[in-house]
Every structure is written in C-alpha cells, then in structure tokens.
Chain A
Amino acid sequence: MNVTENNEKKSAAAIADLSEIDASCRVPLLALFGGAAVWLVLGLLLGLAASMSFHMPDMFANCSCLNYGHAQAASNDLLLYGFAIPASLGVLLWVFARLSQAPLALPIVTFAGANFWHLGVLLGTAGILMGHSTGYPWLEYPRVAAVLLFAAFMLIAVSAAATMGFRNERDLYPSHWFLFAALLWFAWTYSSANLFLISAHPPRGVVQAIINWWFANNLLFVFLSLTGIGMAFYFLPKLAGKPLAGTGYAMFAFLTLIVFGTWMGIPRSAPVPAWLPATSTYAGMLSLLPVFAIVIVSVRTLSGSGFSISGGPFSFIKFGTLSFIVSALLYISEFCPRHSLVTDFTWYNFAVSQWQILGFVGMTAIGAIYYILPRMMGKGLPFPSLAKASFFLFFAPGVLLLAVPLVIGGIAQGFKLADANVAFADASAAALFWFRISTLGQALLLLGAVSLLLNILALTIHWKVGLLKTGIAAVKAPLPPRRDQGEARS
C-alpha cells in the first residue's frame, strides 16, 4: 500500500477524532484501572503482612489466613493477576484504539470482561487465604477463579482483537506485534497450564513441576516483556517527540523474544531429565539478543531528548524500560549454571519476579495510566502533584528498596548456603538483614499505590457525580407541553 492510497483511504473512511476514541475507552478502562489500583493496594498490604513474619514470626500464629504461606501467595497473585495484568490490558486496549484510529470495539464486552476478571481475582484471593490454593506457584487460584479469569481474558481479548481488526490505519506498528502476541501468550499458557494441573488427574510426578515452570516463565518473562515493551514502544516515541528508531531492531527483538524466551524456565538443579535445564540455559543465552535489541531501540529513540525526570507519566515509563533491562538480565542469569547454583533457593529469584511485576510492567502501566486518565476522562487528574510526588517519594525508591536489597541478600545467602561450613541459621540470618530493608520498600510502594487509588477514585467519583448532575438536570429540565398540562391541573 503506497502513501497516497493510504491517505485516500484515510480520508475516505470516517476517521474518529481523538476525543471520540478516548471517550469510547472510558467505561471499560476505568473498570480495569480502578480494580487494578485496589488490588495493588491490597496485594502490597498482604505482602507487608507476609514480610512481618520475618520480623515477628509469631505475629499471625493464630490466624491461618494471614500466615506466611497464605499471605505471600495471595500477595504475589494479587500483584500479578490483580494489578499488573488488568492495568496493562487497559493500556493495551487504549493503545490499540489510538493506533487503529478507531473507537474501542465492543466496549460492553470489555466492561463485562473487566468485572469478571476482578471477580475472579477476588474469589482466587479468598480461596488462597482460606487454604484452597492449588499449590502451584503463580497458579495458586482455585479452579473457579481460574475459569473466571480465563473467560474474562477472552472477552477482553476479543474486544482488543476487534479493535485491531477494524482499524482505520492499516499499517501495523511495533507495539501491535508485542501486544497482540501477548494476548495469544496468556490465553494459551494460562489455559494449558490450568487444564493440565488444576484437573482431577494432573500428569504424574515431576511433570507437574515442569509444566508449572514452563507456565511461570512464559507468563513472567515472555508475556510481561511483550506487554511492557509493547506499551513502552508506544510511549517512548511520544516522550522523545520522534518516531521509534530502528524498527528493524524492534522486529528482531520481537522474533527472538518469542522464539527463544519461551524455552527458558527450568532451573539448573531441577530433578528432571537433563535436556530440559540444558535447553533453558541455551535459551537464556539467546534471550540476551532481544534484550540488547530493545536497549538499542530505546537508546536510539530517546537519544537527543535529554534525560530529565519530571515525575510525570514519562518518568514512570522511563523507569519501567530501565527496569526491563535490569530485570531481564537478572532473570536470564537465573539460568546460568554456575550462577544459579548460588542464587537458586534464595531471595534472589523472588526479587527478580517483584522487579519484573512492579518495577517493569507495573511502573510502565502506571505511567501509561497517568497519561491516559486525563485524556480519557476529559479532565485533569484531581491530585496531579500527588501523582508527580509519588514517583520520587514512593514508587521509584520503593521498587529499588524492595528489589535491590533482596538481590544482594539473595547472593549473600546463596554463598553461605553453598558453603557447608556455615550453619544454616547463619545463612538465613545473612539474608534477614536485607529482607528487612526490603519491607521498607514495600511500605513505600503501598503509599504510592494509595496515591494512585486516590487519583483514580476521585476522578471516578467526580465523573459519576457529573453524570448524576447531568441526569438530574435532564430530569428537572422543563418539558414545555407537559408543564402546560401540569399547570392546568393544579
């Protein structure tokens, strides 16, 4: 398709203007973002409760639902399924609508999907806290919740695919590749893992663990990278004020990420046939390629635009992109044989997953939410300075204080665990100091989450009150013929 033909088509088609596109996203996206903010607060609260077990081990001794094993699993899943995924799905829908230059298709379906999703998260969290966790990491939600989540995801994905299918701008943009692939990734891996594991007859023995690792890797590394980078590739050019540089590199990153990234996940020392961890190690080395390509694209796009950090939406997105690079390198390092002998079974892996969920996708999505909200609602944020301050005071230091000490503590713990002359208690104590610092990071993030929730909540209430006022005004509006009759009667 050449340019003139393209332009003709554009002018021929009724191209919706931006405010119309943004308005079409309002109801479903508010449901996704609002719920995500609530779950972020709750997830961090539960995470804080879990951390307290390492400060005061007997704190929840009489309360089964807040004991470490329950609270930690519930917190992990809330941050991922409750916050990171719906927040980035909302951004994905908006990016698709903007790139398509068309309003969101099937907004009612997305709205229903968003509510089903949140219901699924609610049921799943309640299930874990009541002891109905399935026992598979990142798949803890019991069957009811998993079915709901999958159904809700499909509803949202249908709307996203329809928005992409009915696009007025026919050319695909790099964000399209990443985000569209992410839809397929979640649908396939989540359904496949649940069908195998949360069934009446799961596969025998250690195959369960292999499927679990395959799923966790595809979710935490491939899916999150696809969504996060998909978002970043949309917003980075806006930030730099020029188009994405190096589309070829972006394509290379996309293809290598989906082809190689998906084979990681099996730890070196896993009690499984040796070809599985060996494959993961090689896939890990090859997965450095997309990381480097994404570095090149980001640096080239941002070069010349300066590196100011104002605390606005773009600061979050810059932080998120930087977090992708760090967390991806740390994640890949988990599959280096020598390195993993030290870091496996320590806080290191937990730190990396938190960095991926909160530092990378979480921060990118929050930045995007702060960018989208004023445009979507047609009015500014209620507390703009709080949003700005939250980056400097809560989010950025929170992520760093949560993840960095755990990475350091994990390595310290790992070296002591690998040395049989160090007593186990001493090895644990080595990590405890760092763990306690990370609790501070969690607390800061919680404050940030509250500020995000306040902004979304106030905006929603403002909007609903506005709607109500319009409604009341419409009801109260004089209707000439009727009034005449009324007056005649009285």
Chain B
Amino acid sequence: MKTGISVFLASFFALGASWFGMVYGSIHQLGSAKETVILQSSDNWPQQRTGEATLGLQVYRANGCAACHTEQVRQTGVADEISLTSLGKYSAGDFKDFMKSIMIAPELLNVSNNIIGGLETWDGKLPRTIYSGQDSAVVASLGDKLKAAGVKADARVVATGSDIWRGWGMRQSVAADYLYDVPVQLGSLRAGPDLSMIGVRAPDVNWQLKHLYAPRSVVSHSTMPAFRFLFHVRKIGAQPSPDALVLPKDFAPADGMEVVPTTEARELAAYLLSLKANQPLYEAPFTPAAAK
C-alpha cells in the first residue's frame, strides 16, 4: 500500500468480487425466473395481481408500510403429522388400548411413550393429531396399522416454526413469491404482524378498510398509526354512500358525516387482499388442509 494505485486496485478487486458474486451472480441465477407450478395442482404460482392490487403496492410503498411489516415467513423445518379423523369401530377408550397394543413394533418403540402419553388426557375429540415429528417411518407404520384396523387417519407434511404456529403462513417464503413485485417489500421489522398471507387471514375488504382508518376499532391493542388521510370524512349527501365505513361508536365521525375510502385506500386494501402466499411449492412443500 505504498501508492494510491495499489490501494485503488486492492479495493477495486475486493468490491468487484462481491459485486460479481452477489449482484451479477444473483441476477444470473434468478433474474430470469419464471412462474412455478403449485404442488399437486396444474396452477402456476405466483398469479399476476389485479390492476387495483398492483396500484395498491405503490400505495404500500409510498406510505412506508414495510417499515413495520414484513412479507416473509420463516420456518425451522418440516414435520410429518398423522391425525385421526374417524375411529371406526373403536370408542376412545378402546382406541387407547389398541394403540398400546401396536406400540410393540420396533419402529414405534422410540415414540411410544410420547404417543401414549399424549393420548392419556384425550377426551375423544376429533380430529386429533397423534404424532408430529421428523420420522416419516413412524407415520408410514402408524398409517398402515390404523388403516388395517379400520381407523381413518390423515398423514400430512407441515412446516414448523413460530411464524407458522402464529398462523402467518403455511410455509416459508421463497424467491418465487415476489416474482411480480416492483418494488419487493420484504420489510425488516415486525412492529406489526407479518403480511405474507393477510389476504387469507383477513379476507374481508371492509375489515381491511376499517383497520386502516381506525386500527383500534377492530384490534383493540393495535399499535398501528391510523391512516385517516387515506379517507374522506364528508357530509352525508342526499343518500348515504354505499361505500361508507360502518364504524363502532367510539370511532364513528360526527352525526351527519360519513367516512368514505379514497381510491388509494381501496387500492391498498386490494393489495393486502392479494397477499396469499399459501400454496405448496417444490421448494417449500406442505400438505394443504383438505377442503371441508
């Protein structure tokens, strides 16, 4: 480092390497990514948003929603689960005895205490998960034995982790989820909950609008700032607007006034409803709940 040129060259190659690897490399690897196929389905993922929801992403960006909300779900792993849906000829008590009788199988010995212990306090309510863990041999063996005895059970693959248990997602977020987002709004702070699946968790557009206008009118302990500037508070005309929000008394405007969402508020709500990252994919598999 005796001359400026040597300092320049050292810096140039050091930064150039990381630019080449991380910027160019990731563009090369992912820059031409295409839609993927949803597992056990012929549909593609992700689906292009509606026009209104696409505009809503820009409202989301402009208001810096990503400062407090993430759109990425983490998972720690996957578990194989088996849950009972029908006991067939058994009563709950008989079933417990039956379970004890099949636990002598060598592949079940390790988990027998766990399973039998878990069933001890069970009152016979269905569906009931009897095993959840990493061992797919246990699930296969239990499945065979239960089927032979005429007991109906579902074997499922589920993602694990606190984000999943909180109901924020069915699986971890993957690169494909963001294919159509410009800008991608991953967020880095959870001052508010994750929104990857908010369109599934709160699918009512009126709830979304009310929550934007007065967060504490629908979630009493919310710390979200109100976005009243996305709404018009105006005098009721000849007829009340059909779009006016129906608010609880404490949050309602003065008599003779109504709260009507602006176009921006509608677009933002449409965008939030479009966030539905709950499809099983090759890189993040899980067994979707059967339609009931």
Contact residues of A with B, CB < 8 Å? 53-54, 57-64, 67-70, 72-73, 131-137, 161, 164-165, 171-172, 176-177, 180-181, 184-185, 188-189, 192, 196-197, 202-211, 214, 218, 251, 254-255, 258-259, 262-263, 265-267, 269-273, 276, 279, 341, 344-347, 349-350, 417-420, 424-425, 428-429, 431-432
Please name the residue on chain B nearest to A435 by beta carbon: B191
30 A/B residue pairs, CB under 8 Å, sorted by A: A57-B215, A57-B223, A61-B227, A62-B229, A63-B229, A69-B64, A70-B64, A72-B64, A133-B64, A134-B61, A135-B61, A172-B3, A172-B4, A172-B7, A177-B1, A180-B4, A196-B23, A204-B30, A207-B31, A208-B182, A209-B184, A210-B22, A218-B15, A262-B15, A262-B17, A263-B21, A270-B186, A271-B177, A273-B26, A417-B162
Cα distance A269–B194 in the bound complex, in angstroms? 14
Between B2, B4, B223, B226, the greatest number of chain A beta carbons within 10 A of the residue's beta carbon is seen for B223
Cα distance A12–B12 in the bound complex, in angstroms? 34
Inside 8 A of A346's CB, which chain B residues have their CB?
189-190
Inside 8 A of A425's CB, which chain B residues have their CB?
221
Please name the residue on chain B nearest to A180 by beta carbon: B7
Please name the residue on chain B nearest to A422 by beta carbon: B162
Are B189 and A254 in contact, with the CB atoms below 8 A? no
Partner-contacting stretch, out of B91-99, B126-134, B166-174 = B166-174
Partner-contacting stretch, out of B68-76, B109-117, B146-154, B236-244 = B68-76
Are B7 and A177 in contact, with the CB atoms below 8 A? yes
Are A271 and B72 in contact, with the CB atoms below 8 A? yes
Are A420 and B162 in contact, with the CB atoms below 8 A? yes
Inside 8 A of A270's CB, which chain B residues have their CB?
72, 186
Are B26 and A68 in contact, with the CB atoms below 8 A? no
List 4 A-B pairs, minimum CB-CB distance, nearest first: A69-B64, A420-B165, A135-B61, A131-B62
Cα distance A135–B64 in the bound complex, in angstroms? 7
In the assembled complex, the CB of A373 is this many whole angstroms from the nearest CB of chain B, namely 28
Please name the residue on chain B nearest to A259 by beta carbon: B14
Cα distance A432–B187 in the bound complex, in angstroms? 19
Cα distance A211–B64 in the bound complex, in angstroms? 19
Between A59, A61, A177, the greatest number of chain B beta carbons within 10 A of the residue's beta carbon is seen for A61
Are A424 and B11 in contact, with the CB atoms below 8 A? no
Given contacts A58-B228, A171-B2, A344-B188, 9 further A-B contacts (CB under 8 A): A57-B216, A73-B67, A204-B33, A206-B184, A271-B173, A276-B22, A417-B190, A420-B162, A420-B166
Cα distance A181–B11 in the bound complex, in angstroms? 6
In the assembled complex, the CB of A75 is this many whole angstroms from the nearest CB of chain B, namely 11
Determine whether B175 belongs to the interface, using a CB cutoff of 8 Å to chain A. Answer: yes
In the assembled complex, the CB of B11 is this many whole angstroms from the nearest CB of chain A, namely 4
- Interface residue from A72, A207, A254 paired with B1 (Cβ < 8 Å): A254
Are B175 and A54 in contact, with the CB atoms below 8 A? no
Give the interface size class of chain B. 35 or more
Determine whether B86 belongs to the interface, using a CB cutoff of 8 Å to chain A. Answer: no
Cα distance A339–B162 in the bound complex, in angstroms? 15
Inside 8 A of B8's CB, which chain A residues have their CB?
180, 184
Are A131 and B63 in contact, with the CB atoms below 8 A? yes
In the assembled complex, the CB of A54 is this many whole angstroms from the nearest CB of chain B, namely 6
Please name the residue on chain A nearest to B221 by beta carbon: A425
A205 and B22 in contact (CB under 8 A), knowing A57-B225, A69-B65?
no
A271 and B21 in contact (CB under 8 A), knowing A67-B227, A134-B183, A208-B183?
no
- Interface residue from B15, B27, B31, B228 paired with A62 (Cβ < 8 Å): B228
Cα distance A135–B180 in the bound complex, in angstroms? 15
Cα distance A202–B61 in the bound complex, in angstroms? 15
- Interface residue from A61, A69, A345 paired with B190 (Cβ < 8 Å): A345
Please name the residue on chain B nearest to A272 by beta carbon: B175
Cα distance A259–B16 in the bound complex, in angstroms? 10
A185 and B15 in contact (CB under 8 A), knowing A64-B229, A206-B30?
yes
In the assembled complex, the CB of A52 is this many whole angstroms from the nearest CB of chain B, namely 10
Determine whether B32 belongs to the interface, using a CB cutoff of 8 Å to chain A. Answer: yes
Inside 8 A of A64's CB, which chain B residues have their CB?
63, 229
In the assembled complex, the CB of B215 is this many whole angstroms from the nearest CB of chain A, namely 7
Inside 8 A of A424's CB, which chain B residues have their CB?
166, 193
Are A133 and B1 in contact, with the CB atoms below 8 A? no
Determine whether B209 belongs to the interface, using a CB cutoff of 8 Å to chain A. Answer: no
Cα distance A189–B23 in the bound complex, in angstroms? 10
- Interface residue from B11, B32, B166, B228 paired with A258 (Cβ < 8 Å): B11
Within 8 A of A (CB), among B202-230: 215-216, 221-229
Cα distance A204–B182 in the bound complex, in angstroms? 8
Please name the residue on chain B nearest to A413 by beta carbon: B190
Are A273 and B18 in contact, with the CB atoms below 8 A? no
Inside 8 A of B12's CB, which chain A residues have their CB?
184
Please name the residue on chain A nearest to B172 by beta carbon: A271
Please name the residue on chain A nearest to B65 by beta carbon: A69
Inside 8 A of B107's CB, which chain A residues have their CB?
none
Inside 8 A of B41's CB, which chain A residues have their CB?
none
- Interface residue from B10, B17, B32, B187 paired with A204 (Cβ < 8 Å): B32
Determine whether B176 belongs to the interface, using a CB cutoff of 8 Å to chain A. Answer: yes
Determine whether B181 belongs to the interface, using a CB cutoff of 8 Å to chain A. Answer: yes
Are A258 and B31 in contact, with the CB atoms below 8 A? no
Inside 8 A of B176's CB, which chain A residues have their CB?
205
Inside 8 A of B181's CB, which chain A residues have their CB?
205, 208
Between A73, A134, A424, the greatest number of chain B beta carbons within 10 A of the residue's beta carbon is seen for A424
Please name the residue on chain B nearest to A269 by beta carbon: B74
In the assembled complex, the CB of A191 is this many whole angstroms from the nearest CB of chain B, namely 11
Inside 8 A of A63's CB, which chain B residues have their CB?
229
Are B191 and A70 in contact, with the CB atoms below 8 A? no
In the assembled complex, the CB of B159 is this many whole angstroms from the nearest CB of chain A, namely 13
Are A209 and B226 in contact, with the CB atoms below 8 A? no
Within 8 A of A (CB), among B22-67: 22-23, 26-27, 29-33, 61-67
Are A135 and B66 in contact, with the CB atoms below 8 A? yes
Inside 8 A of A133's CB, which chain B residues have their CB?
61-62, 64
Are B182 and A214 in contact, with the CB atoms below 8 A? no
Please name the residue on chain A nearest to B64 by beta carbon: A69
Are B226 and A432 in contact, with the CB atoms below 8 A? no
Determine whether B185 belongs to the interface, using a CB cutoff of 8 Å to chain A. Answer: yes
In the assembled complex, the CB of B158 is this many whole angstroms from the nearest CB of chain A, namely 13
Are B27 and A203 in contact, with the CB atoms below 8 A? yes
Inside 8 A of A419's CB, which chain B residues have their CB?
162
Are B184 and A205 in contact, with the CB atoms below 8 A? yes
Cα distance A184–B23 in the bound complex, in angstroms? 17
Inside 8 A of B215's CB, which chain A residues have their CB?
57
Inside 8 A of B172's CB, which chain A residues have their CB?
269, 271
Cα distance A420–B19 in the bound complex, in angstroms? 38
Are A211 and B23 in contact, with the CB atoms below 8 A? yes
Inside 8 A of A58's CB, which chain B residues have their CB?
225-226, 228
